[in-house]
Chain A
């Protein structure tokens, strides 16, 4: 990664331990139920967890900045509702998609402006806006599902590709999300925007004194979270073909869990985008693996919680050891 270091030491990537944990989990489930390891099954698993993975890749930005957004699930929902209703109203599909993503970006920007203007942590602001977005969604969808059923719509290439009507060797949604991760990774770890986010998360006062426009960066990062949630909403609409009033309601845990399990601390200043992808897959393997093992699916939430505590615990032990050593 650091091209400048001349004496290149052999160094494992920081994601190594998470990758190892993922392989162990897959190995355990695969050993007990060999059908789990079939490529099509693994691809399906990855595809169905790809949206929460995408959101995890972006929540890493906020965690790195020392903030957390609680509203992204409802941004996703409302964006999908906006796009779906527009399509049903006769707006061309591609314009409706842009409207949906734009709505997501707008909601993210509102979160950002509120947190900067009111000088409150984002967690508090989004506690409120989450309900506002959910409320707006319920008002516009009249508490029912939004389902674009017209043939003209369902036969649009957007729905056919995402929904799997057109066969691709690898689900399209997966290709898209992997590409998005590449962009998210490069932006956070290789550009000035990303460096500024990490600087704010590490030491806000020093960031200000270094001349970083901290307020602007906060608003931009929140807007990015909104845009990505909006994209998530569009992907959901295309993948499932409908938006329910409860869509996005249960995203907070798997998404934040994926980022934390992946190795991003809640305290800010550090983060790993690739780690969150692995984290999302771990959450996915737990969820699907439990079904494969014949355990009631209701257990998966509990197990995810245990894995979070385990991941944070290991991380904390390593940190305390390091502090003692220095």
Chain B
């Protein structure tokens, strides 16, 4: 061990990574001092997750060098990361749902006596770790039967058992309530004293300020600044995150209170609840209006649109679409009533990736809309699909190409295109820009505005604050399942404060 290793756990120089035409990381230079809690903040697409994936060995950088504890690496694999003691807790759980808790704590690292798994030995190691993070779950319980918040702590325990030198936490509190989050933050704060450097990634700035010794702000794949927390305040960090808008081509919309007052209501929601994440939400959308839904992960904003569409059961409240109160919400009824849902997880629920563009564009209209025909005319479908492809400028060689081969932005246009085929009066857009590059984002925004200009109402949920402030006429703020307020014409900083307060 040389002396340098004491100062920096990680030093990266000129780190770059491209995905197709998009630069996820653009020459990042960063030093992370040992035995501190470092927070990395930035918008979605700022390059945080790419950086973390490189550190865990899951992604290979195109250019640049990585120095870990004084040792230089040109290539960095999952094996070298774990050998160096880099532990990562992913945002998506990586647990074996059918297996018991103890088995999940030692995935393929089970201790053995002879050929047999030594559960007793493993339990002796696991129990103190459980105690230290305040987790009280029987070790022989099946993980799938444990509440989600405990699963997240089990995932954390799994990483801690390896006693990592560098611990990367990606949104670790997303499934935790306030009390559990506090417990976790206290725990994280204590880690540097035990020789673990922490890299903490979170959207919640209050958490970041509570836990971090050092804050690094990233934007568009580059470093904005990296300073001790004591030299920073929340507005400065927000300023760094948002920056001057790169996508200045999207002109900001001015709030139009008049429009809302004069136009007919396409959607009226009163005290909606699904009994779980959505507890008491009221909002209205007028024809031609774009209404945003802002809220942190876990606030209920994620589930709101699916509940409105009928994909999740509602337990209370009224939903009125174009003046008619809907007694029974179901996807089938929603399609009939002209409500379209552009889902967030387009790969899982929005598209048939193995089928062609033409098949994808037509399956809703074939399935539920055009009545009276018995046999499907493939020629007719292809012709109709061609029209949508032209209208939305979907980049594809022909309508017979598999949708899975298109880029994320073009896939999203296919999802929107297929829903517009049923000529909906209300469009629910659930985080449509997830995994979409800046260029495609600009086009999507143009499309959304066109749809609104045709007199359709749009409810727009996004995890990116700047998208909401740029695109929406009005924004509804959701916190802990309750719609707390409605705002017009706020800027990014104000809105971040509102959803975090």
Closest to B122 in A: A4
Residue B120 is within 8 A (CB to CB) of chain A in the complex: yes
Say yes or no for A127: interface residue by CB 8 A criterion: no
- A151 to nearest B CB, angstroms? 43
Q: Which of B102, B107, B124, B147 has the most CB of A within 10 A?
A: B107
Q: In the complex, are the beta carbons of A203 and B95 less than 8 A apart?
A: yes
A-side contacts of B122, CB under 8 Å: 4
Q: Which residues of B contact A4 (CB under 8 A)?
A: 102, 119-120, 122-124, 139-140
Number of B residues whose C-beta is below 8 Å from A? 29
Q: Are B95 and A190 in contact (CB under 8 A)?
A: no
Select B99's contact among A192, A202, A322, beta carbons within 8 Å.
A202
- B103 close to A326 (CB less than 8 A): no
* Interface: B96 (CB within 8 A): yes
Which of A52-60, A85-93, A206-214 lies on the face that meets chain B? Answer: A206-214
B73-95, CB < 8 A from A: 78-79, 94-95
Q: Which residues from chain B contact A1 at a C-beta distance below 8 Å?
A: 140
How far is B78's CA from A3's CA once the two chains are assembled, in angstroms? 33
Q: Is A198 an interface residue (CB 8 A)?
A: yes
A199 touches B (CB below 8 Å): yes
Which residues of the partner chain A approach B97 to less than 8 Å between Cβ atoms? 202-203, 269
Determine the chain B residues whose CB is within 8 A of the CB of A190 once the complex forms.
Answer: 115-117
Contact A2:B102 (CB < 8 A) given known A195-B117, A202-B97, A322-B145 = yes
Interface presence of A270 (CB below 8 A): yes
Q: For A269, what are the chain B residues with a Cβ–Cβ distance below 8 Å?
A: 96-99
Does chain B have a CB within 8 A of A309? no
Asked if A198 contacts B99 (CB within 8 A), the reply is yes
Q: Is the CB of A210 within 8 A of B107?
A: yes
B143 to chain A, nearest CB (A): 9
B454 interfacial by beta-carbon distance below 8 Å: no
User: Is the beta-carbon distance between A206 and B107 smaller than 8 angstroms?
Assistant: yes
The answer for the CA separation of A192 and B107 in the assembled complex, in Å, is 10
Tell me, yes or no, whether A186 is within 8 Å of chain B by CB.
yes
Q: How far is the CB of A2 from chain B (nearest CB, A)?
A: 4
Is B108 among interface residues, defined by CB-CB distance under 8 A? yes
How far apart are A319's CB and chain B's nearest CB, in angstroms? 10
**Would you give the 0/1 interface string for A248-278, flagging 1 where the beta carbon is closer than 8 Å to chain B?**
0000000000000000000011100000000
**Chain A residue contacts of B123, Cβ below 8 A:** 2, 4-5
Which residue of chain A has its CB nearest to the CB of B147?
Answer: A326
Inter-chain contacts of B140 with A (CB < 8 A): 1-2, 4-5
The smallest beta-carbon distance between A231 and chain B, in angstroms, is 21
* Cα A206 to Cα B99 with chains together (Å): 12
Residue of B nearest to A209 (CB): B94
CA distance A207 to B145 in the complex (A): 20
Task: Decide if B94 touches A203 in the complex (CB within 8 Å).
Answer: yes
Question: Would A202 and B98 be within 8 Å (CB), given that A4-B123, A191-B116 are in contact?
Answer: yes
B110 interface hit (Cβ, 8 Å): yes
A196 interface residue (CB < 8 Å to B)? yes
Q: Which of chain A's residues have a CB closer than 8 A to the CB of B124?
A: 4
- Indicate whether B138 reaches chain A with its CB closer than 8 angstroms: yes
Complex Cα distance A206/B124, Å? 24
Task: Knowing A206-B96, A326-B147, say if A186 contacts B116 (CB, 8 Å).
Answer: yes
Tell me if A199 and B120 are in contact (CB < 8 A): no
Contact B108 A210 (CB under 8 A): yes
Q: Quick check: A192 and B102 within 8 Å, CB to CB?
A: no
Quick one: closest A residue to B96, CB to CB?
A202
Residue of B nearest to A326 (CB): B145
Chain B residues, CB < 8 A from A207: 96, 107-108
Chain A residues 181-202 with CB under 8 Å of chain B are 186, 190-192, 195-196, 198-199, 201-202
Contacts of B78 in A (CB 8 A): 209, 211
Q: Contact: B112 with A192, CB < 8 Å?
A: yes
A7 cross-chain contacts in B, Cβ below 8 A: 138
> How far is it, in angstroms, between the C-alpha of A211 and the C-alpha of B119 when the chains are bound?
20
Bound together, the chains give a CA A212 to CA B78 distance in angstroms of 13
A206 contacts B119, CB within 8 Å? no
Query: For the complex, what is the distance from the CA of A311 to the CA of B264, rounded to whole Å?
Result: 55
A-side contacts of B96, CB under 8 Å:
198-199, 202-203, 206-207, 269
A198: contacting residue among B95, B98, B115, B116, CB under 8 A: B98
* Chain B residues numbered 129-180 whose CB sits less than 8 Å from any CB in chain A: 138-140, 145, 147
**CB within 8 A of B108: which of A9, A192, A268, A322?**
A192
- When C-beta atoms are compared, the residue in chain A nearest to B114 turns out to be A191
Q: Using an 8 Å CB-CB cutoff, how does the interface string of A13-53 with B read, 1 for contact, 0 for none? A: 00000000000000000000000000000000000000000
CA distance A211 to B78 in the complex (A): 9
- In the bound assembly, the distance between CA atoms of A205 and B110 in angstroms comes to 19
Complex CA distance for A177 and B414, rounded to whole angstroms: 58
Minimal beta-carbon separation of B367 from chain A (angstroms): 27
Question: Are the C-beta atoms of A196 and B108 separated by less than 8 Å?
Answer: yes
A1 to B123, CA, bound (A): 13
Residues of chain B touching chain A, judged by Cβ–Cβ distance below 8 Å, are: 78-79, 94-100, 102-103, 107-110, 112, 115-117, 119-120, 122-124, 138-140, 145, 147
Q: Which 9 A-B pairs have the closest CB atoms?
A: A4-B123, A269-B98, A210-B107, A202-B96, A202-B98, A2-B140, A206-B94, A210-B108, A270-B98
Supply 13 A–B pairs (Cβ within 8 Å), ascending by A: A4-B119, A9-B138, A186-B116, A192-B110, A195-B103, A201-B98, A202-B97, A202-B99, A206-B95, A209-B78, A211-B79, A268-B98, A326-B145
- A-B contacts besides A210-B94, A211-B78, A269-B98, 13 pairs, CB < 8 Å: A2-B102, A4-B123, A5-B123, A191-B112, A191-B116, A192-B117, A195-B103, A195-B110, A199-B107, A206-B96, A207-B96, A209-B78, A269-B96
